[in-house]
Protein backbone atom coordinates (compact mmCIF):
# COMPACT_ATOMS: atom_id res chain seq x y z
CA UNK A 1 0.00 0.00 0.00
CA UNK A 2 1.48 3.33 -1.08
CA UNK A 3 0.45 6.95 -0.61
CA UNK A 4 -0.50 8.43 -3.97
CA UNK A 5 0.16 11.97 -5.13
CA UNK A 6 -3.60 12.46 -5.36
CA UNK A 7 -3.98 11.47 -1.68
CA UNK A 8 -1.10 13.77 -0.70
CA UNK A 9 -2.70 16.68 -2.55
CA UNK A 10 -6.08 15.93 -0.93
CA UNK A 11 -4.47 16.07 2.52
CA UNK A 12 -2.64 19.30 1.72
CA UNK A 13 -5.69 21.06 0.31
CA UNK A 14 -7.75 20.10 3.37
CA UNK A 15 -5.07 21.47 5.73
CA UNK A 16 -4.78 24.72 3.77
CA UNK A 17 -8.56 25.10 3.89
CA UNK A 18 -8.48 24.60 7.67
CA UNK A 19 -5.74 27.21 7.92
CA UNK A 20 -7.90 29.72 6.07
CA UNK A 21 -10.77 29.01 8.49
CA UNK A 22 -8.39 29.72 11.39
CA UNK A 23 -7.04 32.85 9.71
CA UNK A 24 -3.57 31.26 9.52
CA UNK A 25 -1.26 31.11 6.52
CA UNK A 26 0.11 27.57 6.77
CA UNK A 27 2.71 25.56 4.94
CA UNK A 28 2.03 21.85 4.53
CA UNK A 29 4.26 18.97 3.46
CA UNK A 30 3.51 15.32 2.78
CA UNK A 31 6.20 12.67 2.36
CA UNK A 32 5.98 8.96 1.57
CA UNK A 33 6.95 6.15 3.94
CA UNK A 34 10.64 6.60 3.12
CA UNK A 35 10.52 10.31 3.88
CA UNK A 36 10.66 11.35 0.24
CA UNK A 37 8.66 14.43 -0.69
CA UNK A 38 5.29 13.91 -2.34
CA UNK A 39 4.18 17.55 -2.20
CA UNK A 40 4.65 20.79 -0.29
CA UNK A 41 2.60 23.98 -0.47
CA UNK A 42 2.99 27.36 1.16
CA UNK A 43 -0.15 29.45 1.54
CA UNK A 44 -0.05 33.07 0.49
CA UNK A 45 1.33 35.03 3.41
CA UNK A 46 2.98 32.07 5.14
CA UNK A 47 6.38 32.90 6.61
CA UNK A 48 9.37 31.93 4.43
CA UNK A 49 10.79 29.24 6.72
CA UNK A 50 7.48 27.42 7.27
CA UNK A 51 7.78 25.05 4.25
CA UNK A 52 11.13 23.76 5.54
CA UNK A 53 9.71 23.30 9.03
CA UNK A 54 6.66 21.47 7.66
CA UNK A 55 8.94 19.19 5.64
CA UNK A 56 11.09 18.37 8.69
CA UNK A 57 7.94 17.52 10.67
CA UNK A 58 6.55 15.31 7.87
CA UNK A 59 9.92 13.58 7.40
CA UNK A 60 10.29 12.93 11.13
CA UNK A 61 6.77 11.49 11.41
CA UNK A 62 7.37 9.18 8.46
CA UNK A 63 10.83 7.80 9.21
CA UNK A 64 10.30 7.54 12.97
CA UNK A 65 6.87 5.97 12.35
CA UNK A 66 5.34 8.04 15.15
CA UNK A 67 3.86 11.54 15.40
CA UNK A 68 6.55 14.10 16.22
CA UNK A 69 4.88 14.97 19.53
CA UNK A 70 5.62 11.40 20.68
CA UNK A 71 9.35 12.06 20.25
CA UNK A 72 9.48 14.74 22.98
CA UNK A 73 10.11 12.42 25.94
CA UNK A 74 12.85 10.61 24.05
CA UNK A 75 14.51 13.88 23.02
CA UNK A 76 14.34 15.17 26.62
CA UNK A 77 15.61 11.95 28.19
CA UNK A 78 18.56 11.50 25.84
CA UNK A 79 19.31 14.87 24.23
CA UNK A 80 22.82 13.96 23.07
CA UNK A 81 21.68 10.91 21.16
CA UNK A 82 18.63 12.72 19.80
CA UNK A 83 20.82 15.57 18.53
CA UNK A 84 23.00 13.07 16.67
CA UNK A 85 19.96 11.21 15.33
CA UNK A 86 18.66 14.47 13.95
CA UNK A 87 21.68 14.77 11.64
CA UNK A 88 21.58 11.23 10.23
CA UNK A 89 18.82 11.55 7.66
CA UNK A 90 17.98 13.73 4.71
CA UNK A 91 16.12 16.22 6.93
CA UNK A 92 16.26 17.03 10.65
CA UNK A 93 14.33 14.87 13.10
CA UNK A 94 12.15 17.16 15.20
CA UNK A 95 10.23 16.54 18.41
CA UNK A 96 7.35 18.99 18.40
CA UNK A 97 3.68 19.28 17.51
CA UNK A 98 2.52 19.39 13.91
CA UNK A 99 3.97 16.22 12.41
CA UNK A 100 1.79 13.12 12.15
CA UNK A 101 2.46 9.74 10.64
CA UNK A 102 0.02 8.87 7.87
CA UNK A 103 -1.28 5.37 8.61
CA UNK A 104 -4.10 3.29 7.15
CA UNK A 105 -5.02 -0.30 8.00
CA UNK A 106 -1.95 -0.49 10.23
CA UNK A 107 0.43 0.39 7.39
CA UNK A 108 2.71 3.44 7.52
CA UNK A 109 2.14 5.41 4.32
CA UNK A 110 4.10 8.60 5.05
CA UNK A 111 4.10 11.75 7.10
CA UNK A 112 2.22 15.05 7.26
CA UNK A 113 3.84 18.23 8.52
CA UNK A 114 2.17 21.57 9.19
CA UNK A 115 3.80 24.88 10.12
CA UNK A 116 2.56 28.44 10.46
CA UNK A 117 0.15 28.30 13.36
CA UNK A 118 0.83 27.79 17.02
CA UNK A 119 2.15 24.32 17.87
CA UNK A 120 -1.35 23.35 19.05
CA UNK A 121 -2.95 24.68 15.84
CA UNK A 122 -0.43 22.83 13.67
CA UNK A 123 -1.17 19.60 15.56
CA UNK A 124 -4.92 20.10 15.45
CA UNK A 125 -4.83 20.67 11.68
CA UNK A 126 -2.94 17.38 11.22
CA UNK A 127 -5.24 15.42 13.49
CA UNK A 128 -8.50 16.89 12.17
CA UNK A 129 -7.65 16.40 8.50
CA UNK A 130 -6.22 12.90 8.82
CA UNK A 131 -9.18 11.78 10.95
CA UNK A 132 -11.69 13.31 8.50
CA UNK A 133 -10.00 11.49 5.60
CA UNK A 134 -10.08 8.13 7.39
CA UNK A 135 -6.45 7.72 8.43
CA UNK A 136 -5.48 6.19 11.78
CA UNK A 137 -4.27 8.39 14.64
CA UNK A 138 -3.43 5.74 17.25
CA UNK A 139 0.24 4.84 17.82
CA UNK A 140 1.66 2.79 20.65
CA UNK A 141 4.71 4.01 22.51
CA UNK A 142 8.07 2.44 21.76
CA UNK A 143 8.85 -0.60 23.84
CA UNK A 144 5.18 -1.42 24.37
CA UNK A 145 4.33 -4.76 22.75
CA UNK A 146 1.41 -5.04 20.39
CA UNK A 147 -1.68 -6.47 22.01
CA UNK A 148 -2.16 -10.21 21.64
CA UNK A 149 -4.95 -11.15 19.27
CB 41 within 8 A of CB 12: yes
Which among 112, 116, 97 has a CA at the least distance from the CA of 44?
Answer: 116
pLDDT digits 0-9 by tens, 1-13: 899 999 999 999 9
Residue 102 vs residues 47, 63, 90: alpha-carbon distances, Å: 25, 11, 19
pTM confidence score: 0.92
Confidence label for 147 from pLDDT (cuts 50, 70 and 90): low
42 beta partners: 27
Mean pLDDT of all residues in 11-20: 97
Mean pLDDT of all residues in 46-55: 98
Residue 57 vs residues 66, 90, 106, 133: alpha-carbon distances, Å: 11, 12, 21, 20
pLDDT score for 33: 97
How far from chain centre, in Å, is Cα 69?
Answer: 9
CB 52 within 8 A of CB 70: no
Specify the DSSP class assigned to residue 70.
G
Three-state secondary structure call for residue 68: helix
Q: Alpha-carbon distance 52 to 36, whole Å?
A: 14
pLDDT digits 0-9 by tens, 78-131: 888 888 887 888 899 999 999 999 999 999 999 999 999 999 999 999 999 999
Q: Please state, for a pLDDT cut of 90, what percent of the chain lies above it.
A: 79
pLDDT score for 74: 82
Amino acid sequence: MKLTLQEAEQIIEAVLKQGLALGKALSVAVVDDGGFLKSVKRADGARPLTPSIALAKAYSAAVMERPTSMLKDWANSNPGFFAQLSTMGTHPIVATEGGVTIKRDGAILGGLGVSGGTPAEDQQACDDVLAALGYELEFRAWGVPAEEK
